[in-house]
Amino acid sequence: MKEAWFYNQITNNNVECFLCPHNCKIKPGKRGLCGVRENIEGKLYSLVYGKVIAEHIDPVEKKPIYHILPGSLSYSIGTAGCNLSCRNCQNWQISQSGKKFPIQGNDTTPEEIVKNAIESGCKSIAYTYTEPTIFYEFAYDCAALAKSKGLKNIFVTNGYINSEPLQKIAHLLDACNVDLKSFREETYRKICGGKLEPVKNSIKLMKKLGIWVEITTLLIPKANDSFEEIADIAGFIKGLGEETPWHISAFWPNYLMTEIPPTPVSLLNKARNIGIDKGLKYVYTGNLPTDEGENTYCYNCKNLLIERQGFSIIKNTVKNNKCPHCNVKIDGIFQ
């Protein structure tokens, strides 16, 4: 447990947290919507500092991050809690646990995390599985130490963070994969328990701050899968920069949305084509095998550059961030 950052004391020992756009006003003895930040006698505390509930060595492609050191390993950690309540969450057992149960997790320190990452041959640390914003203080301390040891830092995030905390940690973050869950406010409210506009603002700020950004959209049948909405998302990403990779993932029934069918392969392929037609350089499909969706192609000469199978790299021909066939720059960090 550690005193939280980004809050103000208000009247009667109440506090207001401004870490994320919920801006929770929290009474003594109560927690914010994330379930892991508690008002104890007029001070706000993070209950998950050093309480890691998930800790694994993953391929960086699993995040998914395709343009930062492809083929490398990423030491991946997460704590209980989340500041959204997505009805389709694949990690709901831990993301929602802080809202209903005592905080679970193994005690650890930033020093142990970084040491384990280095000894296991990882090139980065990914703050993932749940929402890294809600374990901000621990993520920040880990990221600062990791950066000093030459490791890269990756946030796998829903983007639901206020601008001040984002600006404070930006110099430590090499990359973010942001879940852009929909392009409709109503969908964010009904399915995620949040708002769209703060996510869009966070993504724009990440780009402005020089963080490498990749976007993931989970296509949920009858929720966010209209061609119009897919085109709107692609247009927004194009506005961020045509070099921004877009990962379009298949939905599988889960948690509170078990009645929804899986995303058809045909829809994934159509969405990918929409993204390419909008002018995006790198559009990928995931959670279902498709003919070309996992591979990286040169946007200029169309030759295959990186061949993937699941989370494995079969072939990588990018040299010095350039296509070996036509010599154009391939965006990202490849060595």
Domains of the chain: 2-46 (no CATH), 51-294 (3.20.20.70), 298-335 (no CATH)
Could you give the percent of the chain with pLDDT greater than 70?
99
* Distance from C-alpha of 95 to C-alpha of 81, rounded to nearest angstrom: 4
Instruction: Give the model confidence (pLDDT) of 139-156 as tens digits.
Output: 999 999 999 999 999 999
User: What does the longest C-alpha to C-alpha distance in the chain come to?
Assistant: 67
pTM: 0.96
305 close to 298: Cβ distance less than 8 angstroms: yes
Which residue, 252, 287, 297, 293, is CA-closest to 269? 293
* Distance from C-alpha of 128 to C-alpha of 122, rounded to nearest angstrom: 15
Question: Mean pLDDT across the chain, nearest whole number?
Answer: 96
Quickly state the pLDDT bin for 263 (edges 50, 70, 90). very high
244 close to 213: Cβ distance less than 8 angstroms: yes
Quickly state the pLDDT bin for 74 (edges 50, 70, 90). very high
295 close to 303: Cβ distance less than 8 angstroms: no
pLDDT confidence of residue 328: 97
Contacts with 80 (C-beta within 8 Å, 6 or more apart), sequence order: 35, 36, 48, 51, 53, 94, 95, 97, 98, 103, 104, 105, 130
With a cut of 70, say whether residue 13 has pLDDT above it: yes
CA dihedral 186→188→189→192, nearest 10 degrees, is 150
CA 44 vs. chain centroid, Å, equals 25
pLDDT confidence of residue 290: 64
67 close to 212: Cβ distance less than 8 angstroms: yes
With a cut of 70, say whether residue 196 has pLDDT above it: yes
With a cut of 70, say whether residue 291 has pLDDT above it: no
pLDDT confidence of residue 136: 98
Instruction: Give the model confidence (pLDDT) of 62-72 as tens digits.
Output: 999 999 999 99
Burial class (CB in 10 A: 0-12, 13-18, 19+), 87: middle
pLDDT confidence of residue 102: 85
Quickly state the pLDDT bin for 287 (edges 50, 70, 90). confident
Quickly state the pLDDT bin for 166 (edges 50, 70, 90). very high
